[in-house]
């Protein structure tokens, strides 16, 4: 039962899916967690794998960049493949002085400046929040690790041209970082009555320049976030 963007059959995906943006990162995560996993989808180079971690089924599939791309795959996974929970494992730019490059954000909510969620509650501003059970599982797995921070982020539909004053305002109200996918993911999880979470490695700092990770580091430095995401996937 292939969909327009996923060429897997019903039953090929586990109930829990880890979702990085980058297909190369999806392949790398699969190699680390479940080297015997099988490829279940590869439409347009967006790779999906299914295997087992500690005897429990798990899938990993890329989303591409941005809310519209992610929304295509999340809609199809929830609608057609009976996926129950999706955990985004990605990167974010730091906004708050509470986080530094290399830290991990467990995003309990996502301010969203775009329009992807506006149809959900037409007369009310929808609050895009993570599933509490998944937040709790990831936070419990982190323990006392002070490089892991729980808090809100902002999800954007644009990468360039953001007013620095907007970043400063968000940081003042406790927003930890900025990325481009979680807001739509949380909205879709609410729509389908499923579970969602984003666990994000801070790859650069927007308000403290000069701390960027390289492209290679962005692809490979996600081990802590991956551990927390697996804990949430199997809670």
Longest dimension (CA), the chain: 48
DSSP-derived secondary structure letter, 144: T
Q: Element (H or E) spanning 61, and its range?
A: strand 56-61
- Residues known to be catalytic: 204
Contact 29, 65 (CB under 8 A): no
How far, in Å, CA of 161 to CA of 164, rounded?
A: 9
Please name the residue ranges forming H helices in the chain: 23-33, 67-80, 132-142, 164-172, 182-192, 215-220, 223-233
Q: How far is CA 84 from CA 90, 158, 192, 194, 218, in A?
A: 19, 29, 9, 5, 28
């Amino acid at each position: 039962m292939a969909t327009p963007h996923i060429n897997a059959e019903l039953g090929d995906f586990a109930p829990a899916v880890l979702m990085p943006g980058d297909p190369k990162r999806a392949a790398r995560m699969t190699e680390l967690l479940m080297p015997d996993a099988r490829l279940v989808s590869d439409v347009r180079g967006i790779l999906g794998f299914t295997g087992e971690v500690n005897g429990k089924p798990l899938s990993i599939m890329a989303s591409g960049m941005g809310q519209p791309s992610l929304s295509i795959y999340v809609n199809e996974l929830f609608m057609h493949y009976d996926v129950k929970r999706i955990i985004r494992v990605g990167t974010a730019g730091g906004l708050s002085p509470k986080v530094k490059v290399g830290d991990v954000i467990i995003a309990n909510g996502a301010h969203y400046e775009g329009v992807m969620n506006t149809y959900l509650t037409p007369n009310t501003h929808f609050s895009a929040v993570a599933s509490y059970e998944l937040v709790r599982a990831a936070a419990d797995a982190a323990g006392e690790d002070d490089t892991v921070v729980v808090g809100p982020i902002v999800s954007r539909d644009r990468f360039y041209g953001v007013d620095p004053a907007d970043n400063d305002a968000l940081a003042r109200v406790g927003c930890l970082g900025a990325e481009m996918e979680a807001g739509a993911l949380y909205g879709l999880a609410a729509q389908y009555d499923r579970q969602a979470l984003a666990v994000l490695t801070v790859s650069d700092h927007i308000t403290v320049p000069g701390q960027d990770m390289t492209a290679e580091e962005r692809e490979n430095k996600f081990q802590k976030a991956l551990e927390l995401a697996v804990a949430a996937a199997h809670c």
